[in-house]
Amino acid sequence: MKITSLADLRKIKAEVQEKIKLREYGENAENIVQIKVAMATCGIAAGAKEIMGYLIEELDFQGIDAVVTQTGCMGYCYAEPTIEVILPGKAPVVYGFVSREKAKEIIDEYIVKGEMVDGVIPVNYKTIDE
C-alpha cells in the first residue's frame, strides 16, 4: 500500500487512530467520562462483563470519548452489577442493578444530558483519604 498524498495520509491516520485510542484516553482520563465496572465474583456472576461490553459498544456507537475500566468489589454485592460514573470535574456517582436498559438510560440521560437517573447508591462510608 502506498501513500500518494497528504490527504491519503490523513485518511489512514483516521483509520488507525482507533487502534491506540484506548491509550490516549488513558493518558488524559481526568478530562473525559470514566466508568468503572465492579468486576468481583459477585459482579461477574450478575452479568457485569456483559454490561461492560455493552457500555463500550454503546459509547463507541454514540461517539462519546470515555474510559471504561474494571474495578474490584465495591461492596454493594446486593446491587450488582454496579458501575461508578465520573463525569469530568464532577463527583463520582455509583449506580446499582445496572441492566442493559439501565445502562442505556445512564448514557442517554446522565452522561449526555447531565441529568440524574434513578438507582444511585449514596456514599455512606469514609475512606482513608478523607
Name the site residues for other proteins (rule: CB under 8 A). 1-6, 8-10, 12-13, 16-17, 19-20, 22-23, 25-27, 29, 36-41, 44, 52-53, 56-57, 67-72
Whether residue 75 contacts residue 121, with contact meaning beta carbons closer than 8 Å, is answered with no
What is the residue whose three cell numbers read 469514609? Answer: 126
Q: How far is the CB of 18 from other proteins (least distance, A)?
A: 8
CB nearer to other proteins: give 84 or 109. Answer: 84
Q: How far is the CB of 118 from other proteins (least distance, A)?
A: 25
Distances (CA, A) of 3 to 6, 8, 10, 11, 12: 8, 6, 10, 10, 9
Helix %, strand %, coil % for the chain, to 5? Answer: 45, 15, 35
CB nearer to other proteins: give 43 or 106. Answer: 43
Q: How far is the CB of 107 from other proteins (least distance, A)?
A: 16
Q: How far is the CB of 6 from other proteins (least distance, A)?
A: 4
Q: At residue 31, what are phi and psi to the nearest 5 degrees?
A: -95, 0
